[in-house]
Amino acid sequence: MRILIVEDEPPIARDIRWQCKQILGEQINSIEIRQTLESAAEFLSQTKIDLLLLDLNLHGENGFHLLQEAVSGSFHTIIISAFVDQAIEAFKYGVLDFLPKPFDEDRLRTAFDRYFNLGQSHNVTTQFITVKTRNRQYVLSVDDVQYFKAANLYVEIVLISGKTEILDKTMDRLEQILPIHFFRIHRSYIVDLRQIESFTPIIDGSSKLTLKSGEVLPLSRKRHKALRSRLNE
Amino acid sequence: MTPLRSVQLILMLVFISVVVPCFSQPVGSNLVIHLIEHRVHPIFKWKYQPGDIPVKESGHTEDSLWTDITSPRTIQQSSAIQWIRKDITLRGELLDSGALGIHIAYLPQAFEVYWNGELIYKNGRVRNSPDEEVPGTINSLFKIPIDATKAGHHALAIRFSNHSPEQHFKGFRASIGYFSELLKQKAHFFHDQYVWFGVFLTVSIISLTLSVSGKKYRSFIFFALFCLCYFINNVIDPAVDAYQVKTSAINFIIGLQFLIFPLSGLFLNVFFLYNYNVPNKWIHIILIVAIKVMINVVFPTLIQTDFHKFITSSYLVGILLYAVLKKKAGSAIALFGVTALTIAIHTHDIYYRDMTLLKPLWSILPFNLTLLFLFCIILSISRQILEENRQIQIAQNRSHRLETQLLKSQIQPHFISNTLHSIKSWFRENPQKAGRLIQTLADEFRLISQISSEKLIAIEEELTLCRYHLELMSHRREVVYELEVDPVPQTEMVPPLIFHTLIENGLTHAYTMGENGKFQIRFSSRKNEKKYTVLNDGSLLKELSSQPKQRIEAGMGLSYVKARLEESYPSQWQLDYGLKDGLWEVNIIIKV
């Protein structure tokens, strides 16, 4: 696991690093500290990481710009912040967790658990997804999405309008931060259940799902049962 | 001011149209009395003879010998025995009510009254020399013999001497009517005087008490003086009624009475000027005094008090209109009251001059209107006090809010959370440092809770707070922040957290990561102001200074600083900031 800590106060950064090492031990491949947005951006442009620990109140920076930047990356983001009222807002952008300072190993461990637990959880409140296109980034609402489709190391977002966007995340990571009305119907597809028009079972046990837009997506055999129980909830 | 001026003009015109009729004297030098009526007639337009004449001739209407009196000065010239005369025509028959009577007031010093050449009344002893002259009473009320009051023409002549140069004929009045009516009039008069005596004395004492109860109410001393003037005025008449004219004390008191009315007007005007904080008060005061003096010297007619009243009333109404325009508390009620008083003042003499000018119901108007005026002023004052209390309450609430803001900002997550998390780190790296910093944090909080409810604190406490804060921040950021302070007297007081807030601003906006900083606090004072300057040498503010002002102010806790300054030094402070000689400086200037 490759971790980047972006925190402007050195003692705090060192403590977080120490805590990470305590919890993850050998699982850490690298753990870096950067104090400013510029130096962090520069680091990220050259190195891939798995997890970002970000202080929203970085000296002199606008917290939410930072946040939107962060969640557009391929890594998971955990926000560390002094302002608890920012938590609700942060979670709307699809962060993995929000840790109010000061926190200790127990709390950090809970956050790491979220990182390692694949699949969805019930209390995800993500409303926005940030998409980066060359030098631009913009935010789209989760309600505009029909489905997500895997595309190599990226994810293609298919919007209700028919437009598509590219998201720099893996399906697994994406699945962890999507709200419960999204469902992974296939290794390569996550769909908004509200967009499903009808089922068409196929002889081999799998099905075809027809969306409101007319598109047809595959539902794998494995996930058929899970979908059934999800729909019954 | 233009709308105010035009309103004043309109008011002047209104008053002229009301007052001028009062100014004008009744037509005809011949007074005609219908015996069937129960009225009391004031006697005007006397004729005057500068020297002594044989008594028998006083009944003759030899007009060429007599001159019309146009001003008291007509009489004052001479100091020998003089005469004044009035022709009266009686119509009809005397009623069962009894004899006619005459009331004379303020005719110095001694006089003899002749009716158709017959002596009917003596007041004092009329003599040619000052030694032999014996002054009479100020008020005289006597009957005319019944058989002398048949229908027809009659001559009323008064032979008098006045060897006291300080006596003048201000306030001289005479009236004729049924004796029983004159008595009633006198009784009414005294009755009114005694009631007003009580009312004005009471209000004066209350006003006086109020004036010493607080700096804000000092103007009420003038209202107390105004009431006192009215009170004295209403004491004098009954008091001097039985006295002789010559006593110097009496002379003084009478003279005083003629000073008192204009003086009361002056006091009332001054009261309102101070109460409503009218600008350029002294100009108004001098103007009022000048006008009154000018009237006394330039237009000394027998009815001059009307013009006095007119001037006082317009000025009063003018001041109150200004107060109403400026939305001062209670001013509208006061204006209403003053209007009532104005009407009372103007109808007062009409009442005494000619009772039929007003219906019987209206004759009680001056009295009731004056009471209405007092009531309105009291109401207006209570409104004012209520408003002031409301302002005090608002100020207190603001103070509480500031205190809360102070406390909240200090237990704000950002400060306490980051500091505590930092301490966690030091526990492992340097436990001694961790311990010391926990102590500093605790000390800072203790000090804050001590000072939070104060409006002003000793400057040493503020500086200590700043030093604690900078120590913590130095360790949090692993840089060195220094504070250099000019020496300052221990007695100096400042609002809590003003320097602290400015230093915190600097820490947040002026320095980059890893940059050391030096803060300075400088003091300077001039004749009537003192200045605090907080300086920092941050590199970031150099570029920030080129940005628009709103952006600079929005991010900083300046609103807290400004609110604290306004709380302790209302409208006497200034705050400015900018880049100077490579340093960012914030100046707080307070007028002492």
Burial of B68 (0-12, 13-18, 19+ CB in 10 A): exposed
Give ipTM to 2 decimals: 0.85
Share of chain B above pLDDT 90, in %: 19
Residues of A in contact with B424 (CB under 8 A): 15, 102, 104
Among the partner residues A59, A84, A104, nearest to B413 by beta-carbon distance: A84
Span A18-47, average pLDDT:
92
pLDDT digits (tens, 9 = 90+) for B417-441: 889 999 988 999 999 999 999 999 9
User: Residue type for B21, please?
Assistant: P
Taking CA atoms, B445 is separated from B369, B438, B515, in Å, by 64, 11, 27
Q: Which helix (H) or strand (E) holds B233?
A: helix B220-240
Phi, psi angles (nearest 5°) of residue B383: -60, -45
pLDDT confidence of B527, banded at 50, 70, 90?
confident
Contact flag B475-A11 (C-beta cutoff 8 Å): yes
Q: Cis (ω within 30 of 0) for the bond into B42?
A: no
In angstroms, the first-to-last Cα distance of chain B is 32
For testing contact with chain B, the best of A6, A9, A22 (most B CBs within 10 A): A9
- List residues of chain B with CB under 8 Å from any CB of chain A: 413-415, 417-418, 420-422, 424-426, 428-429, 475-478, 508-509, 512-514, 540
pLDDT digits (tens, 9 = 90+) for B87-138: 888 888 888 878 999 998 878 778 999 998 889 999 888 888 777 888 788 7
Residue A160 or residue B39, greater confidence: A160
> What local confidence, expressed as pLDDT, does residue B251 receive?
66
> What local confidence, expressed as pLDDT, does residue B79 receive?
63
Pairs of CB atoms within 8 A across A/B: 63
Chain A nearest CA to B423, separation (Å):
8
Chain B nearest CA to A22, separation (Å):
13
Among the partner residues A8, A60, A82, nearest to B417 by beta-carbon distance: A82
Range 106-145 of A in CB contact (< 8 A) with B? none
Contact flag B425-A11 (C-beta cutoff 8 Å): yes
Residues of A in contact with B417 (CB under 8 A): 82, 100-102
Closest chain A residue by Cα to residue B413 = A82
The least confident of B160-174, B257-271, B453-467, B558-572 is B160-174
A11 touches chain B (CB under 8 A): yes
Contact flag B420-A36 (C-beta cutoff 8 Å): no
User: Residue type for B472, please?
Assistant: L
Q: Cis (ω within 30 of 0) for the bond into B257?
A: no
Contact flag A12-B421 (C-beta cutoff 8 Å): yes
In angstroms, the first-to-last Cα distance of chain A is 35
Contact flag B424-A102 (C-beta cutoff 8 Å): yes
pLDDT confidence of B38, banded at 50, 70, 90?
confident
Chain A nearest CA to B281, separation (Å):
54
**pLDDT for residue A96 is more than 80:** yes
**pLDDT for residue B360 is more than 60:** no
pLDDT digits (tens, 9 = 90+) for B553-578: 655 578 788 888 888 888 889 998 88
> What local confidence, expressed as pLDDT, does residue B144 receive?
92
Contact flag A12-B425 (C-beta cutoff 8 Å): yes
- HEC string for chain A: CEEEEECCCHHHHHHHHHHHHHHHHHHCCEEEEECCHHHHHHHHHHCCCCEEEEECCCCCCCHHHHHHHHHCCCCEEEEEECCCCHHHHHHHCCCCEEEECCCCHHHHHHHHHHHHCCCCCCCCCCCEEEEEECCEEEEEEHHHEEEEEEECCEEEEEECCCCEEEECCCHHHHHHHCCCCEEEEECCEEEEHHHEEEEEECCCCCEEEEECCCCEEEECHHHHHHHHHHHHC
Two structure tokens written together for B202: 């009471």
**pLDDT for residue B202 is more than 60:** yes
Q: How far apart are CA A137 and CA A157, in angstroms?
A: 15
B172 within 8 A of B48, measured Cβ to Cβ: no
pLDDT confidence of A92, banded at 50, 70, 90?
very high
